[in-house]
Amino acid sequence: MNRIENAFKNKPIFMPYFPLGYPDLDTSIDVIEALAKNGADLIEVGLSFSDPLADGPVIQHATQIALEKGITVKKSLEAVKELRNRGVDIPLILMGYYNPMLAYGLEKFVRDAIEAGADGFIIPDLPMEEADEFQSALGKLGGRVDGDDLSPSYRDHPLIPMLAPTSSPERMEMIARDAKGFIYLVSVTGITGERKSLAEGLGKLIAQVREHTSAPVCVGFGIGTPEQAKEVGKMADGVIVGTACVRTIGGSEKPVETAKQFAAEFRSALNHIPK
């Protein structure tokens, strides 16, 4: 059982997002460690990019600061390795855009990411229909890597598929059927950001996806409070919280302490869902 599969033994899981390099690299590593050790079940580790098309103003601002402070893909992967060295043992999914990965070199990126301790990848601007090159890079690492039998595979280090309310039934079936790891279900159309209320028809949308897959279905975009997380957690296998996490922690004078409290509050809300 890999780390992702193990995380979903206690559903619904809490999955925060936080970008490396914000407000600076050392603090971001400390924040992610605090989230991991105080209630997060899986973390989306953000790789900053200058044109983050799927992100709203809060995350755009954070990743821009990270870039201004000198964050790079190489430094980000070194940070993932540091988190593993600190005893962070929950899944760490790299969430970033395709262009920096191409510039780094796809095969080298995948190899270095897995060796650093990443468990999977989320690439918002890479449709699954156009992901053959990335999947091929994963497939080429199916054997020995630098003398170590890591045996990474698509199944163990998956490219996580994303689905949205605008996905056609045919596309939803095709992507859900082949999903590995889990499915990232975007609850609303548009960019990331907190919403005052949950999207109408979310339960129906989750049910539609589940008709075509046994993979866990996790919901993101628009979830900003523990109460909203609890409502989503009654329907989904996981709750993804990005903007609220970045805004709350990034705006704090004591970001690490705030991260501990943030993770604990969301995990507590999910723990109080009747089984």
Q: What is the DSSP string of the chain?
A: --HHHHHTTSSSEEEEEEETTSS-HHHHHHHHHHHHTTT-SSEEEEPP-S--TT--HHHHHHHHHHHHTT--HHHHHHHHHHHHHTT--S-EEEE--HHHHHHH-HHHHHHHHHHHT--EEE-TTS-GGG-HHHHHHHHTTSS-BTTB-----TTTS-B--EE-TTS-HHHHHHHHHT--S-EEEE-SSSSS-B-SSPPTTHHHHHHHHHTT-SS-EEEESB--SHHHHHHHHTTSSEEEE-HHHHHHHHT-SSHHHHHHHHHHHHHHHHHTS--
Q: How far is CA 235 from CA 144, 185, 218, 229, 268, in A?
A: 40, 12, 9, 10, 17
Contact 167/127 with Cβ under 8 angstroms? no
Scan for tokens 């079936």, then name that residue: 173
Average pLDDT, the chain: 91
My answer on whether omega of the bond before 124 falls inside 30° of 0, hence cis, is no
Please confirm, yes or no, whether 26 is among the known catalytic residues: no
Q: Give me the catalytic one of 33, 41, 44, 119.
A: 44
Quote the CA–CA distance of 175 and 163 in Å, as a whole number. Answer: 8
* Average pLDDT rounded to a whole number, residues 169-189: 92
Q: Is the pLDDT of residue 151 over 80?
A: no
β-partners of residue 238 are 13, 218
Q: Which of 152-156, 185-189, 255-259 has the lowest mean pLDDT?
A: 152-156
Domain that holds residue 237: 3-271
β-partners of residue 251 are none
The reported pLDDT for the residue numbered 56 is: 84
Q: At 93, which CATH number?
A: 3.20.20.70
Joined tokens for residue 265: 């509050």
Find, among 23, 96, 16, the residue nearest to 53 by Cα: 96
Q: How many domains does the chain have?
A: 1
Q: Is the pLDDT of residue 148 over 50?
A: no
* Average pLDDT rounded to a whole number, residues 189-193: 49
* Average pLDDT rounded to a whole number, residues 91-105: 97
Say which residue, 236 or 275, is predicted with more confidence: 236
Q: Give me the catalytic one of 30, 41, 51, 55.
A: 55
* Average pLDDT rounded to a whole number, residues 82-93: 98
The reported pLDDT for the residue numbered 152 is: 47
The reported pLDDT for the residue numbered 141 is: 74
The reported pLDDT for the residue numbered 206 is: 95
The three-state (H, E, C) secondary structure of 105-153, written as one string: CHHHHHHHHHHHCCCEEECCCCCHHHCHHHHHHHHCCCCCECCECCCCC
Please confirm, yes or no, whether 253 is among the known catalytic residues: no
